[in-house]
Amino acid sequence: MNFFAHYHFYHKPNNNWHNTGLLFPDLLRIFTKSRRISEKSTIALYPENLNYINLVDGIQNHFKADDIFHNWDWFKEKNHELALVMRESKLEIKRDWFLAHIFIELAIDHVLVSENESKVNDLYSDLAYCGKKEWEFFFTKNNIDDFEIWFEGFSRFIKHRYIFTYKDTDNVIYALNRIYQSTGIGEFDTTQKEFLLVLLNTFVPEVKLKISELQKLLE
């Protein structure tokens, strides 16, 4: 799942560090490029530090949600179906299976953000609450390099509040293009952008109908 979906389905009221942990694996990958944390990673335990415990709990719930989501029959069916639509468009869209995967995640975030703007504000409040010293403690204890680079990116992420832009489907395609570029696959041309925008607008009504099913799966 993408940023806001993780938060929307698994956030805990008044638990800033847990809620930030829900986004952390993706934020680590994005802002350091070569650093990763996965469900198989060994995370150091510090039971005397409540914020640390809550952060780790949020990270674990991130992977729990992803596992459920990626094994959801509807997601797998749509990933295959959308990849075929992209392939059969003859627009030479590279890595169509990967692109369809991200396309679905962003479409879900578009729907959730459009319907839950106040909760997006809550997300940013939770992120902003988490201080630099505690983050540095987590990075140090888990031997994760590039802390300053990561924290700079994390701070920009909070400042720009770009998750709000997901309300606009044009911005969803922009975000999709940025991911496409950042992975080194390429960049959409104008025709590809227009095709993907039409595909997204056609797909969104189905996503709206599936949100409650996803909610039940994740409970």
184: left (phi over 0), alpha (psi -120 to 50) or beta: left
pLDDT tens digit string along 143-173? 999 999 999 999 999 999 999 999 999 999 9
Q: Is 127 in contact with 21 (CB distance < 8 Å)?
A: no
Q: Extract the tokens encoding 32.
A: 């350091």
Average pLDDT, integer, range 92-98: 95
pLDDT higher than threshold 80 for residue 33: no
pLDDT tens digit string along 6-23? 999 999 999 999 999 999
Amino acid at 37: I
pLDDT at 191: 97
